[in-house]
Amino acid sequence: MLCLTCGKLGPDICDFCRANFNAASDRLLDDGLLVRSAFRHEGPARDLIHQYKYRGSDRAGWMLARALIPLLPEGHELVAVPRASWRHLRYGIDPAPDLARRLGILTGRTVVLALAAPLMAHRQAGRKRSARQPAVLRVTSRPRSSVVLVDDVLTTGSTLSGARSALQSFGIRVESAITATARGD
Ligand SMILES: [Zn+2]
């Protein structure tokens, strides 16, 4: 096996890389939503996310899903924040729903496909944060309990806040959100 983040022969994540995963702090968004993230989006944690999102690494996907388990509050259904379809098609996976599915398998939690992305969205990665608009998500089914949102990377939190307000407008309570990594502010 090769280390997923540096490619050295050895375990999934070698000791050197493992020592350079940094825990992320919890963040409270402006709308009061608590977001807990497993790692800061830097170093080997960022490499691991890239292996998963852009190279489709199944091992990286399971590792990230396992890292989310300790962040899960008791007793809520999981709702992922889907991305616009063009990204899904371009990279082959829609990371947040895929992470939620893996987390559901690992924990037995119910995963509800409650949100759908718009068909088209402007590419946001290269734009200034101030110019970014949260995607308008559609609520497509109703979870039976309050939910925890699942996303891959926390940036400004605007997408999570948009997801929360879409669900809340249907009377669905969002307990908190979890993400694999968090970018620093
Ligand atoms: Zn390594």
Where do the domains of the chain lie?
Answer: 22-122+130-182
| Pair of tokens at residue 106 | 């690992």
pLDDT at position 83 is 82
Of residues 1 and 91, more confidently modeled: 1
Residues 168, 142 contacting (CB under 8 angstroms): no
Q: Is the pLDDT of residue 132 over 80?
A: no
Taking the alpha carbons at both ends of the chain, their separation in whole angstroms is 35
CATH number, domain 22-122+130-182: 3.40.50
* Distance from the alpha carbon of residue 11 to the mean position of ligand 1, in angstroms: 8
User: Rounded to an integer, what distance in angstroms lies between the CA atom of residue 75 and that of residue 88?
Assistant: 29
- Tens of pLDDT, residue by residue over 25-75, are 999 999 999 999 999 999 999 999 999 998 889 999 999 999 999 999 999
Question: pLDDT at residue 140 above 70?
Answer: yes
Q: In angstroms, rounded to a whole number, what is the distance separating the alpha carbons of residues 137 and 42?
A: 28
**From ligand 1's centre to the CA of 13, what distance in Å?**
5
Q: Please give the model's pTM, rounded to 2 decimal places.
A: 0.89
Per-residue pLDDT, 85: 66
Q: Is 28 left (phi over 0), alpha (psi -120 to 50) or beta?
A: beta
CA-nearest of 29, 12, 145 to 79 is: 145
